[in-house]
Structures are given as structure tokens and as C-alpha cells.
């Protein structure tokens, strides 16, 4: 069966993202072999400032790579956005798939993990970013499989507002507890700018996650699902082009 141009691009972007997921998991395995030979667990251990800087810019480079494949995959801005979140989601899911296949981690989906470092540390149970990733894939496919309809496909300001609001709320759910912990010792500006970095790293080693704010996370996720539902309802009303 001959693949359409969109299906072929989706497949190629997925292969790229899966390969990135493996590369990401390999890097993390190396770091954990050095700093957590007995297996990763909280509290976090002190990592040298040069390595933390390297890790920060590695994450920046990862985002640039995902943006790059999205820019190559499509010309229209909305399609590029869709390919970006599609690649990001597959990369994130397969990062955990390969971690489990290679070192049997995480032992369960509710295991706590350090998710991101931009602009501050994101922490949450593994299942949370996987849920976000599945939602991003659904949104991306809805966007990318809809241009076959007669009218130009747009999200509209209200859907964009919902997506942005939901994303901000979800980010708060990942950063709230850790950020509150760090604010007991450092100012907001110091945390964001990483001034007093050695002291911050030392203090962070006493942090152990206790409660994930599921209510905040579910609120953000529900707003995303509302946006997708409204978009799907609108798309279904548009006549399909018959080739």
C-alpha cells in the first residue's frame, strides 16, 4: 500500500524521534553509572557545575534538533508546530522505553524522575510526561491529517489560548514543589539565573519529592483535552476533499 506524503513524513519524523530517544537514554545511563551506580533515587547527588552546564545546554540542543526536524518536515507554521510536538512526544516516550529495556528503569510508572532543567528543575512521576506526550501526539495527528479538507486549517485564538493555559498549568505542576523548596533558601532571581550555583546544588541534594499536585496536573491536562475536543468538533463539520 502506497503511503501518502503526510504518512511518509510522519513515519520518518517518528524514526528520527525514536533514535533521539535512544540517544537521550544512553546519555542518562552514562550519567547514572557515574553518579548513581546503585540506581537512581532521591535525594539527588551533587553534580559538578560544569556537568550541570553541559546538561542544560544538551537539553537546549535537544529542543533545537526537534525544531529542526519540524522545520524540515513542513512549510506551513501550523504544520511545523504539529511536527514539533509530535517529535517531542515520541522522543519522550521512547526515552523511557529504552531506559526500561536497557536498565529496567523506571520500576513503575509512578516512580519519581527529574524531567527537565529549563528554566528550573521539573520533577514528577514518569506517567505524567507520558500522558502529556500521548496528548501531544493526538493533537499533532489531528492537525496534520486535517489539511485534506476544503477550508484552510487553523486552530483559532480560543484553542491557542486553551493550549497555552493548559501548558502553563502543567509546567506549574512539575515545578511547584521543587521551586517552593528552593525558595526557602534562595530568591526567585537566584534560582532562575543560577547565581550561587554551588550552594543551590548543595541545597538541592536535601530535596526529596513528597506530593505531586495531581489536581493541578489534571486541570492542565483537562484544558488540553477540551481544546482538542473543540478542535475535533470543528474539523468534523468541514467537508472532506475526495481525491
- Looking at per-residue pLDDT, the higher value among 187 and 241 belongs to 187
Summarised one tens digit per residue, pLDDT across range 133-178 is 999 999 999 999 875 555 556 888 999 999 999 999 999 999 999 8
pLDDT of res. 214? 96
Summarised one tens digit per residue, pLDDT across range 177-215 is 988 888 888 887 777 776 567 787 788 888 899 899 999
Contacts with 116 (C-beta within 8 Å, 6 or more apart), sequence order: 59, 122, 174
Q: Cell 468541514, residue?
A: 238
User: Is pTM beyond 0.85 here?
Assistant: yes
- Residue 47, Cβ neighbours under 10 Å: how many? 16
Distance of alpha carbon 1 from alpha carbon 38, whole angstroms:
49
pLDDT of res. 149? 53
Q: Are the C-beta atoms of 68 and 88 separated by less than 8 Å?
A: no
pLDDT of res. 243? 43
pLDDT of res. 111? 95
Summarised one tens digit per residue, pLDDT across range 80-107 is 999 999 999 999 999 999 999 999 999 9
Exposure b/e, 62-80, CB count within 10 A at least 16 = b: beebbbebbeebbeeebbb
Summarised one tens digit per residue, pLDDT across range 9-66 is 999 999 999 999 999 999 999 988 988 888 888 888 877 778 878 888 888 999 999 9
- Looking at per-residue pLDDT, the higher value among 186 and 112 belongs to 112
Amino acid at each position: 500500500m502506497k503511503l501518502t506524503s503526510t504518512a511518509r513524513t510522519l513515519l520518518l519524523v517518528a524514526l528520527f524521534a525514536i533514535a533521539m530517544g535512544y540517544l537521550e537514554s544512553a546519555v542518562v545511563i552514562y550519567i547514572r553509572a557515574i553518579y548513581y551506580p546503585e540506581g537512581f533515587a532521591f535525594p539527588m547527588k551533587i553534580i559538578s557545575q560544569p556537568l550541570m552546564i553541559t546538561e542544560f545546554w544538551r537539553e537546549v540542543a535537544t529542543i533545537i534538533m526537534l525544531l529542526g526536524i519540524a522545520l524540515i518536515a513542513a512549510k506551513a507554521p501550523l504544520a511545523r508546530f504539529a511536527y514539533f510536538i509530535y517529535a517531542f512526544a515520541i522522543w519522550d516516550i521512547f526515552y523511557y522505553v529504552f531506559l526500561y529495556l536497557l536498565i529496567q528503569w523506571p520500576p513503575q510508572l509512578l516512580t519519581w524522575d527529574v524531567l527537565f532543567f529549563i528554566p528550573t528543575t521539573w520533577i514528577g512521576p514518569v506517567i505524567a510526561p507520558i500522558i502529556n506526550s500521548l496528548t501531544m501526539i493526538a493533537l499533532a495527528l489531528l492537525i496534520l491529517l486535517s489539511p485534506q479538507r476544503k477550508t484552510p486549517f487553523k486552530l483559532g485564538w480560543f484553542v491557542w489560548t486553551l493550549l497555552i493555559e493548559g501548558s502553563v498549568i502543567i509546567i506549574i505542576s512539575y515545578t511547584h514543589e521543587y521551586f517552593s523548596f528552593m525558595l526557602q533558601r534562595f530568591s526567585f532571581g537566584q534560582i532562575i539565573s543560577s547565581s550561587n550555583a554551588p550552594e543551590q546544588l548543595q541545597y538541592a541534594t536535601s530535596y526529596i519529592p513528597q506530593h505531586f499536585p495531581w489536581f493541578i496536573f489534571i486541570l492542565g491536562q483537562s484544558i488540553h483535552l477540551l481544546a482538542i475536543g473543540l478542535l475535533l468538533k470543528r474539523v468534523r463539520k468541514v467537508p472532506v476533499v475526495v481525491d
